[in-house]
Structure 1
Amino acid sequence: MGKPYSDDLRERVVASMVGGRSCREAGAIFGVAPSTAGNWYRRYQRTTSYAALPMGGDHRSKLTAEVNWIAERLAAVPELTLTDVREGLAGRGTEVSYTSVWRTVKKLGLRLKKEPSTPASKTGPTSR
C-alpha cells in the first residue's frame, strides 16, 4: 500500500491554486495528477485542511469475543470443520468468512485434521 503525499507538498499545491493556478498547472509544476491537486484544493475549500486522512481501517477481528467459544467447541468436538464452526458462529449472530475462522483457529494454536479426499489404497504402494 502506498503512503500519502507529504503535508508540505500538499500545502505548496494548494497555495499555488489559491494564488490562481489551475489544477492542471499546479499538478504539472509539482508532479502530481491534476485530479489529485483538484481534490486537495476542494478539500481545503470545504475544511480548510489539506492534511492526509488516516489510511487503513478497523483491523480488529469480529471473532475476538468468540475465541473462548471456538476453543471450547473444537475441544468438545475435534472433528468439526471450519465450515461447521462458521455456521455455529452464524447461529450465534456473528457472520464471518471462512478465512477469518481459519486465522482465529491458527492463532489459538489449534490444528484441524484434514479428511482424505479419497480412501487410501487397500493394496498399498506398488513395487517395480
Structure 2
Amino acid sequence: MTTPLSQDLRRRIARAVEKGSSIRQAAARYEVSPAAAVKLMQRVRRTGSLAPDRVGGHRRPVLEPHEDLLRSLVAAKSGITLAEIRAELKARGIVVAALSTILLTLRRLGLRHKKRQSGRPSRTGRM
C-alpha cells in the first residue's frame, strides 16, 4: 500500500496549480504521478483541505447480516458442506462468490461443517 504525499509536497503542488501551472506540469515538476496530483487537486476543490484522507479501515464481513441464517443452516443439517450452504444462500437471494467467505464466517462464529460431500473421493483416491 502506498503512503500519502507529505504535507509539504501537497502544499507545493497546490501552490503551483494556483499560480497557473497545469496539474500535470506540477506533478512532473515535483516528481509525483499525474493521478496523485489530480486526486489531490480534486480533494482540495471538493473539501478545501490538503490533508490526506484516511487510509485503510475495517470492512464488515459480507455475511454478517446473515449470521442467524448460517447458524440455522448448520444446525438443521449436521453434515452440510460449504457448497450446500452456498446453494441455500443463493436460493434465498444471497450470492456468495467464494466458499472461503462462508468458511471464514463459520469459523468466526465457532461453527463446524463437513469438508466434502460423501461418496466423493479425496485427492489421495481413498474415501
Q: TM-score, normalised by structure 2?
A: 0.69
Aligned-pair identity in percent equals: 33
Q: Assess, with a 3 A threshold, how the Cα gap between structure 1 residues 109 and 35 changes in structure 2: closer, same or farther.
A: closer
Greater Cα offset, 15-24 or 111-120:
111-120
Q: 1:25 to 1:63 in 2, by over 3 A?
A: closer
Once residues 22 and 65 of structure 2 are traced to their aligned partners in structure 1, the CA distance between those partners, rounded to angstroms, is: 52
Partner residue of 1:120 out of 114, 119, 126: 126
Superposition pairs of residues 2-81 of structure 1, within 5 angstroms? 2-45=2-45, 48-56=48-56, 59-81=59-81
CA contact (8 A) 1:62 1:94 kept: no
Aligned residues: 121
Q: Quick one: structure 1 residues 7 and 96, their matched pair in 2 at CA, closer, same or farther if it must change by over 3 Å?
A: farther
State the Cα distance separating 1:80 from its structure 2 match.
Answer: 1.0
CA 1:40–1:79: 2 relative to 1, 3 Å: same
8 A contact 1:81–1:112 mirrored in 2: yes
Instruction: Show structure 1 runs of 5+ residues with no match.
Output: 122-128
Q: Determine the C-alpha separation between the residues in 2 that align with 1:75 and 1:4.
A: 47
Q: Which residue matches 2:91?
A: 91
SS at match of 2:86: helix
| Alpha-carbon offset, residue 42 of structure 1 | 4.9
- Note if 1:102 corresponds to 2:103: yes
1:84-108, CA deviations, whole angstroms, 9 ceiling, x for partnerless residues?
1112122223222322211101112
1:60, distance to aligned residue in structure 2 (A): 1.2
**Residues 75-128 of structure 1: CA deviation (Å, up to 9, x unaligned):** 22121111111121222232223222111011122233334624638xxxxxxx
- Any gaps of 5 or more consecutive residues in structure 2? none
The structure having more radius of gyration, on CA atoms, is: 1
RMSD between aligned residues: 2.9
Distance 1:63 1:25, change over 3 A: closer
Quick one: which amino acid aligns to residue 107 of structure 1?
R
**CA gap 1:60/1:22 in 2 versus in 1, 3 angstroms:** same
